[in-house]
Amino acid sequence: MATCDSAYMAAAESVQQFGFASVRFYRMVGTLILTRHGQSEWNKLNLFTGWKDPALTELGEAEALKGAEELKKAGYVSQAFTSDLQRAQKTLQIQLKAIGQEGISITKDQALNERDYGELTGLNKDDARKKWGEDQVHIWRRSFDVPPPGGESLKLTADRVLPYYREHILPLVKAGKSILVTAHGNSLRSLIMDLEHMSGEEIVKTELGTGVPIVYKIDEEGKVLDKQILQ
């Protein structure tokens, strides 16, 4: 029986029961791959980046390429999603070229953008600590539901990421597709929190490596069956 993209199917069993064969049907399982973009110019300068659009550094491109080598282990990718920001788009471009799949469909959307840091955007993190105090900046960065002035908390970020995921990405995965999402630390944390049923307190402590693929196997009901970090 032919498979659907990179999805795999649970083995079918046929048993003799009451004089006729009882068949257990195949079950569709899809793949969701999450990767964080490589280092950007503003990451290198220790600046709050948010929705600003700096390019990748040479190191960032190397991180994307290293992650792509690991991504080959996940097999064929059906379709890709990324944010509206070039650091994620360039990371995705490097990934797809390395795995020989530059021709697949790519969807770009602001819903997958990084968290908006509001008045912190463009500031050096050390300078922000001097202006507002170390404790306050730590609260803005690491609390789940306290946004910086004019910006988003992780909760607000999740409020835009998760509806988009459930409407546009999850149905493809549940249909057995292999979907790659290349985005940002906080937009990906929003997804991981939902996938792994984590609390706000748990997810803010979760660190994501740059360029490192995280692979989830998800069944047709949206249940996570397996998780692998490829590094």
Q: Which domains does the chain have, with CATH numbers?
A: 30-229 (3.40.50.1240)
Among the listed residues 63, 70, 114, 152, the single catalytic one is 114
User: Is the Cβ–Cβ distance between 215 and 7 less than 8 Å?
Assistant: no
Q: Give Dmax (Cα) for the chain.
A: 80
**Full-prediction pTM beyond 0.85?**
yes
Ligand-binding annotation for 46, yes or no, is no
> DSSP letters of 44-63?
HTTB--TT--PPBPHHHHHH
Using the predicted structure, report yes or no on whether residue 22 has a pLDDT greater than 60: no
Taking only the tens place, the pLDDT of each residue in 121-169 is: 999 999 999 999 999 999 999 999 999 999 999 999 999 999 999 999 9
Using the predicted structure, report yes or no on whether residue 78 has a pLDDT greater than 90: yes
Among the listed residues 37, 63, 70, 184, the single catalytic one is 37
Ligand-binding annotation for 40, yes or no, is yes
Long-range CB pairs of 3-11, under 8 A, 24+ apart, other chains included: 4/28, 4/175, 4/176, 4/177, 5/76, 5/78, 5/176, 5/177, 5/178, 6/31, 6/74, 6/75, 6/76, 6/77, 6/78, 6/177, 6/178, 7/31, 7/176, 7/177, 7/178
Taking only the tens place, the pLDDT of each residue in 167-213 is: 999 999 999 999 999 999 999 999 999 999 999 999 999 999 999 99
Helix residue spans in the chain (DSSP H): 41-44, 58-71, 86-98, 125-132, 134-142, 154-164, 170-174, 185-195, 200-203
Question: Is 184 among the residues known to form the active site?
Answer: no
Using the predicted structure, report yes or no on whether residue 120 has a pLDDT greater than 50: yes
Which of 223, 208, 231 is closest to 74 using CA atoms? Answer: 231
Question: Is 37 among the residues known to form the active site?
Answer: yes
Ligand-binding annotation for 197, yes or no, is no
Ligand-binding annotation for 186, yes or no, is yes
Which of 87, 107, 99 is closest to 184 using CA atoms? Answer: 87
